Every structure is written in structure tokens, then in C-alpha cells.
Amino acid sequence: MGKGMKKDVLKFLVLAVVVLFPFSSMPAEVKEGWKVEWEKTLKAAKEEGEVMVYAWSRDSHVQALREFQKFYPEIKFISVEGSGSQIGPRLIAERRAGKYLADLYINGTTTPVEVLIPAKVLDPIRHALILPEVAEESHWFERKFHFADAGKEYVLLNDGTVDTSFIAYNTKLVKPEEFKSNWDLLNPKWKGKIVAYDPRKRSGAGGPIRFLYFSPRLGPQFVYRLFNEMDIILGSDGHVMMDWLATGKYPIFLFPAAGDLDKAKKQGLPVDEISHIEEGAAMHAGAGAVGLMNRAAHPNAAKVYINWFLSREGQTAYQKITGRNSLRTDIPKGTLPDWKRIVPKEGVPYIFGPLPEYSDLTPIRKLITEALEKAGKR
């Protein structure tokens, strides 16, 4: 029998097995092979004894990630904390020094795309998803996984919250009815009175500036005019800028961190946000980017952690503690603050900033730099 005929016979036999013995009628040990893999991975993870997660430094974020310890007390949770822009260089420096300490990155979305993937320090995520309820994409928004990288392999997004506004204001100095559109920011009365997180930096304003740039009702023209005409004061310390807003040094603050604004409001400071802008809404992922480190110190513990974190239990804890909407749709949303406004709806064409089609910040940064230079600023 020739080689070609042997291949044809083999294909026929495989097809016959599939037709005669569909998945539903296969033996349980074949159908539930994942259990064997899971038990083997869990046993090895317990022997490794710990998992190292490089995480965002926000208290509620770390607290949510630490919930893992309650479910797997034999695996010690250790975190290295900082912003994405701090963690990225640290990871690269460690690798160059031959130190492979990190197991997982759960932090901002820009750093893994711009720093970690080019440095080739991440592993594809899908192969690590063992539990069926984790690997099943129908549990997620739009019935699919969302990735920040173009290849849809390395940077999985676990949260997505609707941004209704990027404008914070001093309630003693600004009337909210003065802003119905982002274009109202170009009113000459606000020239020199706006402070903003510098969107050219790697973290802090990537989502908002993407929305302004890619929105069909705003676009590059709006972004250029905003930074060219309005004499905006740029900074990188959100806490300082929030103080400036609260004390009235600047009546408008663009691109504040939601947590900083909420904290200031709870302290009774005269600050609030414009929440009725007519150009639509964007989505941001906050610190909801999950990356699996290659050559991990604890590879099995990393797999156990990522399966827990993306599970219904893990995402319920994450959403409840952080107040950020999990992209898992099979968990209750009513516990989120103002959930009807911030939870994305199916079928709405949001500009989800971390997605690959919006990920390249290079032309935006270049445009902003040109606008500032033309205005005599840097």
C-alpha cells in the first residue's frame, strides 16, 4: 500500500471514530482529561510553594489578587508592586541580570505591549488555561477573550469599565452645565486653567487620549488644538494634581485616576467629574492586563494562579474588591458603584483603548509633542 493511500485510510479511520463516538459518548476519562492535568499541576504548584505576581500598587488591586491565598493556602502569594511604567523596566533589568523571579504580570495594559512583548519575556496564555470554565470564552463580554496584543496570545484583558468622562472639575469654580461636549474644553476662558496627566507617558492617560484621538467626533484635530491652544499644564503625579484641583489652583483636571477622584470626593473635597459628554464613551482596562512570564520561577503555581484569577470565583473577588467591572458576564454586576453606567453593553461600538487597533500611541504622542512645541512648550 502506497504512502498516499495509507494517509487516506488513516483519515477515514479518524473520521469514523469522530462520527461513531462523538465527544458526548466518549469515556469519562477521555472527556475529563483536564482533571488529570489539573491535579498534576496543582500538586507540582504546592511543591513549588509560592507564586510571584508583579502587580499594580493600588491597595484594592493587591487585596483582590491576594484573595488567591484563601483558596490555595499551600501556595504563598508574593507581590512586587508598582505602576506598569515602574514594573516594566524592573522586569527587563532582572532578566538582563539573569534573574527569573516573576511568574505573572497583572497591571497596566501599555507596558506589556510596548515593553514585555518586544523583550520576548511572555508566554502565550491559552495553553495555561486548564479549567473548562476558564477556557470557555462564552463566559466573557461579547463571548470571547479580549487581548491587548495583535496576535491575541500574550496580554489578556480581564476587566473593562466604561469611561463616561475624563474631565474632573472644582465644584466651586466650574459649573458642570458648561460642558456638554469635549469641544467645550477649547473655550478660551479655560486657557491656562487646565492641568492634565501627561498622555505621552506610559501609564495614566493612555485610555482617555486614545478615545479622544480615535473618536470620529473628535479625532486628531481636537487633540492638536487642545494641546496647542489651551496652555495646558502637564504633570505625572496624580495626587499632586488632585490637590491642585481641590485647592482651586487649577479648576479643571484632565485624565485623573478614578481612584484618586473617588478618594477626594469621599474626603469631602470640592471635586467632581463631568459625566454627560455627548461624544459617546470609551472603555478602559485599568490594571486589568494579565501576562504569563516565560522561564517563570514557579511555572505550575503560575498556572494555578491564572486559572483561579480568571475563574468565576477569582473574578467575582476582583470585581467586588476593586470596584472594576470584570469582563466575565456570568457574575453579578449590581455590587459595582453606578454599575448601569459603567458596565459595557453588548452591541455598543465602544472604543476599547487597549485593543490592538487602538494600541499604537506613537502617532498620538508625536502629535501632542508637535502641538506643544508649536505653542512654545515641551
What is the pLDDT, as a whole number, of residue 94? Answer: 97
194-229 residue pLDDT tens: 999 999 886 667 778 888 999 989 999 999 999 999
Residue 125 contacts by C-beta under 8 Å, 6 or more apart in sequence? 153, 154, 156, 290, 291, 292, 306
Given a cut of 70, whether residue 10 has pLDDT beyond it is no
Measured over all CA atoms, what is the biggest interatomic distance in the chain, rounded to whole angstroms?
A: 89
Q: Is the pLDDT assigned to residue 88 strictly greater than 90?
A: yes
| Region of poorest pLDDT, from 28-37, 178-187, 230-239, 244-253 | 28-37
- Model confidence over 285-334: pLDDT tens digits? 878 999 999 999 999 999 999 999 999 999 999 999 998 999 999 999 99
Q: How much is the pTM?
A: 0.75
Radius of gyration of the chain (CA): 24
Show the cell assigned to 223: 487633540
> CA-CA distance, 296 to 101, in Å (whole number)?
7
Cell 470571547 sits at which residue?
Answer: 144
Give me the CATH code for the 32-160+285-345 domain, please: 3.40.190.10
Q: Where are the domains of the chain?
A: 32-160+285-345, 165-280+359-374
Cell numbers for 123, please give them: 508566554
The model's pLDDT over 39-51, given as tens digits with 9 standing for 90+, comes to 999 999 999 999 9
b/e sequence 31-58, b meaning 16+ C-beta within 10 Å: eeeeeeebeebbeebeebeebbbbbbeb
Q: Give 54-85 pLDDT, tens digit per residue.
A: 999 888 999 999 999 999 999 999 999 998 88
Q: Tell me if the domain spanning 165-280+359-374 has CATH number 3.40.190.10.
A: yes
User: Can you tell me whether residue 214 is helix, strand or coil?
Assistant: helix
- Is 165-280+359-374 the same fold as 32-160+285-345? yes
Residue 348: its pLDDT value, please?
82
For 123-172, how does the pLDDT look when each residue is reduced to its tens digit (9 = 90+)?
999 999 999 999 999 999 999 999 999 999 999 999 998 886 689 999 99
Q: Is residue 11 pLDDT above 80, yes or no?
A: no
- Residue 314 makes CB contacts below 8 A (sequence gap 6+) with 67, 68, 308
